[in-house]
Amino acid sequence: MTHDTVSLDVMAAAIEAFPEGIVVIEKTGPEKTDFVFALMNEAFERIGRTNRDLLLRERVADHFPMLIETGYFDRCTAALETAEPQTLEPTLYDDGRIRVWTRTTYTPLDATHVMITGLDITDAMESLTAQSALIERMRRVERLAKVGSWRWDLTQDNLEWSSEVKRIYGLDPDATPSYELEREVIHPDDRAERDAIAEQWMSAKQGGSHEYRLLIDGRVRHIRGVAEAVTRDGELVEMTGAIQDISEVVDAHQQRLEAESKFHTLFDTSPVGVLLIASDGTIKAANGATAELFGLPAEASSMLEGHNLFDDTQILDLGLRWHVERALAGETVHVPPHRYDLAQTMPAAVGGGGGDHARWMEITMFPFDDGAAAFARDVTLPHLARQQLKKASAIIDSMSNGLVVTDTEGTIIDVNPAFSEITGYTREEAIGSNPRLLKSGEHDARFYERMWRDLI
């Protein structure tokens, strides 16, 4: 194919009115980039943000160096060598001064001149790029939230699923959406209900929400689905919606229910009194063992609920408020044994009085939930026993007769002060010995007779 020499004057008048950017460049040397500007229209000046008077006969690459990377000069050379028009797919030119997307055609005019027509598609491409970025962000959000979207165009009977729907359903990314395919992964026990709900939505021309299960490779997934109906002139034309994998939420809820069930079982059957205390000091719950501590039936524990420990005069008088405050502040507190009379503080709980409802208790409190919990143990009998032992010990210590206490083997385990005064043996010397030490043979029979008479 041959070309006649182009008339640039004729071309200049012809291209000026075109909205596309048009430039004519001339091949001036053997190198790929040996092209100079020969002609351009006003639209090119605007797109290139330049002045044509400054560019004429200037090297193209000197003013637009980034064109080398876009394939621009390759297309120009190919157009001259083949004498056939060349095209370049939408291309971004960005040299820091100019940022423009163009779709470009390269038309050979003669053996050395090429006319380049560039359509400025920046707005469209930027919008498409933004849209693509938005779609990608939506996909990431869907993956993070485990939410997939779907659309069913009833006019075309075309069902669309997002990639996350396919992932949730355990399907290949290239799988073709269909109701039958969805039904295959729905748990067999939920299919009939799912069918009925879908039919209800269709007939009522409205959407709704529904929870169902999937069964994929032997594993159950819990799904929450929502749908919205789109009508036109009273006719249902489209259904759109989303599904969310709520398996983790359901599993966590089930684990919480199981934990709560175990806790209530332990709470209700514990032989130790248990109190749950709110952050303001109010008793939220008390188990049956707490009521039984005070000689009441287990069901009377509900009478303790709502009682505020900070308003309890006995607790204030005993100086126990500080212990409660420490537990509510996050500490584990061991409260030494103290005597508490339920009838004095809550007469209604004991039926207006009567009976002995005072107990010696040992309490451990620790932070629990948004308040605290307390374990109460009845130590009344051990406490009274210790008191009795103290009394007995005082009596024995004050006796004028000597007292020896031995184990079943006859070994001395304790003596009173009178023993030491009578025998001359200290308590430390006597303990662990046998009473035979009192028969040393160093004294006459009358001495030992008097000694045994004074010993008990």
Instruction: Please give the pLDDT value at position 353.
Output: 47
* The listed CATH number (3.20.20.150, 3.40.50.2300, 3.30.450.20, 3.40.50.720) that belongs to domain 399-454: 3.30.450.20
Predicted model pTM = 0.46
CB proximity list for 346: less than 8 A, separation 6 or greater: 303, 304, 307
Q: Looking at residue 331, what is its pLDDT?
A: 92
At 222, the pLDDT band (50, 70, 90 cuts) reads: very high
Question: Is the CATH number 3.30.450.20 carried by domain 270-382?
Answer: yes
CATH of domain 135-250: 3.30.450.20
Whether the predicted pLDDT of 305 surpasses 90: no
For every residue of 78-93, DSSP letters joined together read HHHHH-S-EEEEEEEE
What are the extents of the domains in the chain? 8-120, 135-250, 270-382, 399-454
pLDDT score for 2? 46
Matching CATH number, 8-120, of 3.30.930.10, 3.30.2010.10, 3.30.450.20, 3.40.630.30: 3.30.450.20
Band of residue 219 on the pLDDT scale cut at 50, 70, 90? very high
Going from the C-alpha of 263 to that of each of 35, 61, 258, 306, 337, the distances in angstroms are 85, 79, 8, 21, 27
pLDDT digits (tens, 9 = 90+) for 430-450: 888 777 666 655 555 665 566
- 128/57: higher pLDDT: 57
**Mean pLDDT value across residues 244-268:** 84
- The confidence score (pLDDT) of residue 144 equals 57
Round to whole Å and give the CA distance between 275 and 385: 27
CB atoms within 10 A of CB 338: 18
**What integer pLDDT is reported at residue 279 of this predicted model?**
92
What's 98's DSSP letter?
A: -
Tokens, residue 254: 């089930």
Q: How much of the chain exceeds pLDDT 90, in percent?
A: 23
**pLDDT tens digits for range 351-393:** 544 556 677 888 899 998 889 998 888 777 776 667 677 776 7
* Phi/psi at 335 (5° precision): -95, 125
- Helix or strand (DSSP H, E) at 404: strand 404-406
Q: Which residues contact 232 (CB under 8 A, 6 or more apart)?
A: none
Specify whether the backbone of 130 is left (phi greater than 0), alpha (psi in -120 to 50) or beta: alpha
- Residue percentage of the chain with pLDDT more than 70: 83
In the 8-state DSSP scheme, what is residue 59? Answer: B
Question: Which pLDDT score is estimated for 101?
Answer: 81
Judge if 8-120 and 135-250 fold alike in CATH terms.
yes
Query: Whose structure tokens read 């109190």?
Result: 275
pLDDT at 134 over 80: no
pLDDT number for residue 377: 83
